[in-house]
A and B are shown apart, each in its own frame.
Chain A
């Protein structure tokens, strides 16, 4: 029963491939958004560290993978790994700054660093294409066999597979002593320190891991769309990721998946039905959810199943 419940989202995701062959681009977008939300969940949901600049890692991953593809190394999987490594490196370098400042100030430092990277990418047009985006990205077929096709079949299966693997890894992570210690820090940093948890070091580790995850998500976007642009680094991207996560429910991993799917589908459906005023309805939904539900959609789901 429990296993069936865990398998359900993935069965739905695979079923969607067959049931909605015409919706694959949207489904890929959901998978990538879910991975980004998942990376935020590790940091915000589990370690309790809120960031407003997570798009820095997403965008960095996107540009790294994109530039690799543009410069003649279009092998996708190594591209993902390199993007993850570079994003993690940025995380490692910035973690001390971000952790130094403490709560509100730390939050603003993440925002500031994110904005700085955005500006840097904007100015480094020789490398990034500036405001016009990175042109001429060429990604080779996955495993040398599966080309990124117009229907988005490869893109979706590839994104889904990466999401799945990283989800399993995340699950392993949050259930491990390390993951437990992150939750402990979120729940009570005072007590966490008193049982011998090196709080800052663990938070820094979570920050680096989340950075790598976000880097992979960004790289996936760049590879599947063969394009990278500044908005991958934008504050909006960070905020949207947080919205998805809060919408789905923090600290459950599944919340990230559900939130990303719900937000993307709602956004897509509403903007299709009303290209000019979809924000109104999306806004109403967000306001209502914030007023009514605690713990996001996962919270609501749990309350329903408990009843």
Chain B
């Protein structure tokens, strides 16, 4: 069984092909990293998976179901959640409100209008699990330190109880002093969730990933175990430059 799979997934912007016929599989419970130089099409790929962008060609399958044409919110219902490379939070909401909202939507109560939001307790429990400091839970998100906002990104995704989780550079921009919480959270992700991690921090990638896919120029350059990837000459070239110059 494949948790999340793509088949010849392609996205073009005008004449430019950002994602070029990518076929890719994520297994249930996987710890999978997606890496590649800037402009390789990683974020576009994530946007195609989550439904933020429509695909030009190809298919996206979630546990055998074709979700290529489903809108974003329907994919979330089907068990696919994501975080964003640049924080996408609700600046005026408190973390507790944000997470409560996400849980409510998961439970299909988003259209309830006649009573207040429930699930506050579950939200608090989730934040507990992430070691989200008590004092920061009821402050507006915009006032929180950056690292804590990154943590909230993850919390919002987890609140959806996803079966597949896409983490887009979860540690990006977090000052070292605040990074511990984020790292802990990533390490403690539930084992039954398939995770796709897009990341530049190689420490994190190699610590986390059991499998790595390398994207370059919108296409899959390599795919395999971390050790093999680290030794792959094509990957070294993509990261360090052309071999000739290196020798010259």
The answer to whether A and B touch in the complex, with CB atoms under 8 Å apart, is yes
| A contacts, CB < 8 Å to B | 172-173, 175-181, 183-184, 187-188, 190-191, 193-199, 202, 205
Known: A194-B81, A194-B82. A199 touches B104 (CB 8 A): no
Given contacts A176-B117, A177-B117, contact A191 B89 (CB under 8 A): yes
Determine if A191 and B88 form an interchain contact, defined as CB atoms under 8 angstroms apart. Answer: yes
Contact indicator A197/B73 (Cβ below 8 Å): yes
Q: Are A188 and B113 in contact (CB under 8 A)?
A: no
Interface residue B105 (Cβ < 8 Å from any Cβ of A): yes
> Which residues does chain B contribute within 8 Å of A179, judged by CB atoms?
113
Q: Which residues from chain A contact B115 at a C-beta distance below 8 Å?
A: 172, 176
Query: Which residue of A177, A190, A196, A205 contacts B77 across the interface (Cβ within 8 Å)?
Result: A196
Which of B91-99, B190-198, B206-214, B238-246 contacts the other chain? B91-99
Q: Write out the residue numbers on chain A whose beta carbons fall within 8 Å of the beta carbon of B89.
A: 188, 191
**Interface residues of B, count at CB 8 A:** 38
CB distance from A178 to the nearest CB of B (A): 4
Q: Which residues of B contact A187 (CB under 8 A)?
A: 90-93
Interface residues of B in 101-122 (CB under 8 A from A): 101-102, 104-106, 109-117
Contact A177 B76 (CB under 8 A): no
- If A183-B90, A196-B76 touch, whether A176 touches B114 (CB-CB below 8 Å) is yes
Residues of A within 8 Å of B88, CB to CB, are 188, 190-191, 194
B117 x A180 contact (CB < 8 A)? yes
Residue from A173, A175, A184 within 8 A of B93 (CB atoms): A184
A-B contact count (CB 8 A): 101
Cβ of B84 and Cβ of A194 under 8 Å apart?
A: yes
A184 contacts B101, C-beta separation under 8 Å: yes
Tell me if B145 is interfacial: C-beta within 8 Å of chain A: no
Q: A176-B117, A196-B76, A196-B106 in contact; A191/B112 too (CB < 8 A)? A: no
Task: Report the Cα distance A180→B89, complex, angstroms.
Answer: 14
CB pair B84–A177 under 8 Å, yes or no, is no
Does B50 sit within 8 A of A, measured CB to CB? yes
Indicate if the CB atoms of B97 and A180 lie closer than 8 Å: yes
Distance in angstroms between the alpha carbons of A56 and B199 in the assembled complex: 51
Residues of B within 8 A of A196 (CB): 72-73, 76-77, 102, 105-106, 110, 160
Residues in B whose Cβ lies below 8 Å from that of A205: 111
- Given the contacts A190-B84, A194-B52, A176 and B116 also touching, CB distance less than 8 Å: yes
B248 to nearest A CB, angstroms?
46
* Further contacts, 9 of them, CB under 8 A, given A176-B112, A196-B73: A176-B116, A177-B104, A177-B112, A188-B90, A190-B88, A193-B71, A194-B84, A195-B160, A196-B105
Is B159 interfacial (CB 8 A cutoff)?
A: yes
A177 to B113 CA separation, bound complex (whole angstroms): 6
B101–A177 touching, CB < 8 Å: yes
Complex interface residues of chain B between 45 and 86 (CB less than 8 A to chain A): 50-52, 71-74, 76-77, 81-82, 84
Residues of A within 8 A of B93 (CB): 183-184, 187
- Nearest opposing residue in chain B for A195, CB measure: B102
Give the residue name and chain of the B residue nearest to A191 (CB).
B88
In the bound complex, do residue B101 and residue A195 qualify as a contact, i.e. CB atoms below 8 Å apart?
A: yes
Instruction: Evaluate contact between B73 and A198: CB separation under 8 angstroms.
Output: yes
**Chain B residues, CB < 8 A from A194:** 50, 52, 72, 76, 81-82, 84, 88, 156
Q: Is the CB–CB distance between A173 and B113 below 8 Å? A: yes
Docked pose: A8 CA to B75 CA in angstroms: 46
Residues of B within 8 A of A184 (CB): 90, 93, 98, 101
Q: Nearest Cβ distance between residue B141 and chain A, in whole angstroms? A: 9
CB-based nearest B residue for A189: B88
Q: Which residue of chain A has its CB nearest to the CB of B97?
A: A180
Give Cα A202–Cα B98 distance, bound, in whole angstroms: 17
- Collect the chain B residues with CB atoms within 8 Å of residue A176's CB: 112-117
Q: Which of B92, B111, B112, B159 contacts A195 (CB 8 A)?
A: B159
Query: Is there an interface contact between B110 and A181, defined as CB atoms closer than 8 Å?
Result: yes
A residues in contact with B109, CB < 8 Å: 177
